Amino acid sequence: MPVRLIERTPDAYAYPLLIKQLLHTPLAVAPDQEITYMGGRRHSYRELRQRIGRLASMLAGLGVEAGDTVAMMDWDSHRYLECFFAVPMMGAILQTVNVRLTPEQILYTLNHARADVVLVNAEFLPILAAIAPRLETVKRFVLIEDAPAAVAPVDLAGEYEALLAAASPDYDFPDFDENAQATTFYTTGTTGLPKGVYFSHRQLVMHTLATAAALGSAPAQGRLHRDDVYMPITPMFHVHAWGLPYVATMLGLKQVYPGRYVPETLLKLVRDEGVTFSHCVPTILHMLLVHPLSKVIDLSRWKLIIGGSAMSQAQARAALARGIDAFTGYGMSETCPILSLAQLPTAALADGPEAQAALRAKTGIPLPLVDMRVVNEVLEEQPHDGQTVGEVVVRSPWLTQGYLHDPAASEALWQGGVLHTGDIGHVDAAGWLQITDRMKDVIKTGGEWTSSLQIEDVVAQHPAVAEVAVIGVPDEKWGERPLARVTLKPEHVGQVSEHEIRNFSARLIESTGVSRYGVLLQVQFVDVLPRTSVGKLNKRAMREEHGPH
């Protein structure tokens, strides 16, 4: 017998989960709350709503219809927040362009996403100049002018503020299917073309609600509430600034958009605007902590989600020492992004900085509705013993359903009904996940997984080692065994042997029990390690030298 579906009236059925619904509560109870932007601009929520209406009217005037794609090339700004709402609320798709990509990559993403209209900050006109003739689908351009612009290399429909001023604030945002695509943007791996991920209205609303529920339910540390002042420090072009602008808007918070991420500016905004809640990558946190102003400004009310890459325990301690409530958020572009937050149990807040930092650097507690598991190669869940590793797979209502127009990559992402994060980790008895490696960097030895990162940590402890990259190389007996490619500090070259580094590392591996098969390590000295265009170690290139696996 099938389940019984609820009887629905046509009216009632039409409450789809749409981004516009996030605005009901703040407009009702916080219409005069302010949002401040780079350059001193301040809008109330009421004004934000009017500008969203004007932006939609303006875009409709340019011919934008439901299903069209509007690409945004700007730094964090009031324009960006307006686009976060207006474009999807029209039924169109917002493409948030990573302006740090090369012009060729930007060209690729605009063509691949079939962008119809581009809103472009004058600062990026040189990029347009390089690619405009090869844009295949873009029909109109709107200029964003913070400073007087050079001559544009394309025909412009006009300037953003002038067009908005001339447009009507009254735009009747329709209801439509909640599975309508709302946003798209491109991830950049270490190799290959950028890959597009995409999210629907329903997915963004679910991510917003679940993130708010998770952030709100923390007893003391790492929580977000309506008195907080929110300032993003991850770009709005990157996974919707982790989705937090939607959360902050839904809750009616005071918001602060800092524009470019200049440490001094950011720290002054924390002081002057009373910022209490932000999120950033470890690199930004590092820049903030080493800035002299961070030593004289009171940062003790600042809560900071750290994500994008792993926050080290040392960095967590450094932030704690400055009074900052820094804690890990885990997720990725493919997951909208937030999956879990390292909100500590209250008892742990009494622990010393060492113990606290260890927890703050873990992935923490899954958001409501997130089904996140560490599994072996046949998708069986691994024990919660804090040591058995496996791949992290996930289900939740806000995962990209694939890569745009890329069935092969989509199929690899989704296997067995779960999204494969490509991360390796283990779960402890308290349910906390610790990521230990990327799947592609793991070494499969004797049927078990060995973390290349853990072995690198060990090898790097030898005083002669400058840099190290560990990869798995084919081995007849073991399947794979670890190979460390090492560059030496100049003063040690010729003074130490590969054999010595190997024995040093193997002893340390055995004594710490880090990695059972790590003792099979081989060591090879090289003059230089290969790197990608953005400066990351290129392990893929190293592996390819050793032939296919």
241 binds a copy of itself per the rule CB under 8 A: no
371 binds a copy of itself per the rule CB under 8 A: yes
Q: How far is the CB of 406 from a copy of itself (least distance, A)?
A: 10
Q: Which two tokens stand for residue 41?
A: 């601009």
Query: Which region among 289-297, 414-422, 494-502, 524-532 touches a copy of itself (by CB under 8 A)?
Result: 414-422
Nearer to a copy of itself, 64 or 488 (CB): 64
Q: How far is the CB of 337 from a copy of itself (least distance, A)?
A: 16
Residue partners of 98: CB distance under 8 A and separation at least 6: 105, 106, 109, 185, 186, 188, 194, 235, 237, 238
Instruction: Give the one residue of 307, 402, 422, 425 binding a copy of itself; rule: CB under 8 A.
Output: 402
358 binds a copy of itself per the rule CB under 8 A: no
Cis peptide bond prior to 337, omega within 30° of 0: yes
Nearer to a copy of itself, 6 or 296 (CB): 6
15 binds a copy of itself per the rule CB under 8 A: yes
Site for a copy of itself in 16-35 (CB under 8 A): 17, 21-22, 24-25, 28-31
C-alpha–C-alpha distance, residues 482 and 486, integer Å? 13
Pairing of strands 418-427, 448-451: unpaired
C-alpha–C-alpha distance, residues 182 and 201, integer Å? 5
Nearer to a copy of itself, 198 or 517 (CB): 198
Asked if residue 281 lies in contact with residue 256, where contact means CB atoms within 8 angstroms, the answer is no
Asked if residue 268 lies in contact with residue 276, where contact means CB atoms within 8 angstroms, the answer is no
Which helix (H) or strand (E) segment is 313 a member of?
A: helix 313-321
Nearer to a copy of itself, 209 or 319 (CB): 209
Binding map of a copy of itself across residues 88-107, x = CB under 8 A, - = no contact: ---x-x--------------
Nearer to a copy of itself, 172 or 491 (CB): 172
Distance of CA 68 to the CA centre of its chain: 25
Query: Which region among 152-160, 201-209, 284-292, 485-493 touches a copy of itself (by CB under 8 A)?
Result: 201-209
186 binds a copy of itself per the rule CB under 8 A: no
9 binds a copy of itself per the rule CB under 8 A: yes
Residue owning tokens 């006109």: 125
Residues with catalytic roles: 187, 334, 444, 449
Give the closest residue to 169 by CA, choosing from 53, 19, 3, 58: 53
Instruction: Give the one residue of 40, 352, 417, 547 binding a copy of itself; rule: CB under 8 A.
Output: 417
Nearer to a copy of itself, 36 or 400 (CB): 400
490 binds a copy of itself per the rule CB under 8 A: no
Instruction: Give the one residue of 135, 341, 365, 435 binding a copy of itself; rule: CB under 8 A.
Output: 365
Residue owning tokens 């190997």: 502
Pairing of strands 277-280, 229-232: parallel
Site for a copy of itself in 329-348 (CB under 8 A): 346
Query: Which region among 73-81, 233-241, 363-371, 494-502 touches a copy of itself (by CB under 8 A)?
Result: 363-371
59 binds a copy of itself per the rule CB under 8 A: no
2 binds a copy of itself per the rule CB under 8 A: yes
Site for a copy of itself in 421-440 (CB under 8 A): 427, 430-432
C-alpha–C-alpha distance, residues 513 and 525, integer Å? 25
Which helix (H) or strand (E) segment is 412 a member of?
A: helix 407-413
3-state secondary structure of 487: strand
Nearer to a copy of itself, 411 or 498 (CB): 411
399 binds a copy of itself per the rule CB under 8 A: yes
Which helix (H) or strand (E) segment is 72 a member of?
A: strand 69-73
Query: Which region among 71-79, 146-154, 360-368, 481-489 touches a copy of itself (by CB under 8 A)?
Result: 360-368
Site for a copy of itself in 285-324 (CB under 8 A): none
Residue partners of 496: CB distance under 8 A and separation at least 6: 462, 464, 488
230 binds a copy of itself per the rule CB under 8 A: no
Give the closest residue to 264 by CA, choosing from 238, 284, 281: 284
C-alpha–C-alpha distance, residues 19 and 504, integer Å? 57
176 binds a copy of itself per the rule CB under 8 A: yes
What type of residue sits at position 143?
L
Tell me how many residues contact a copy of itself (CB under 8 A).
Answer: 85
User: How are strands ordered across the β-sheet holding 254-257?
Assistant: 42-44, 34-37, 254-257, 229-232, 277-280, 303-306, 325-331, 338-341, 365-366
Nearer to a copy of itself, 173 or 261 (CB): 173
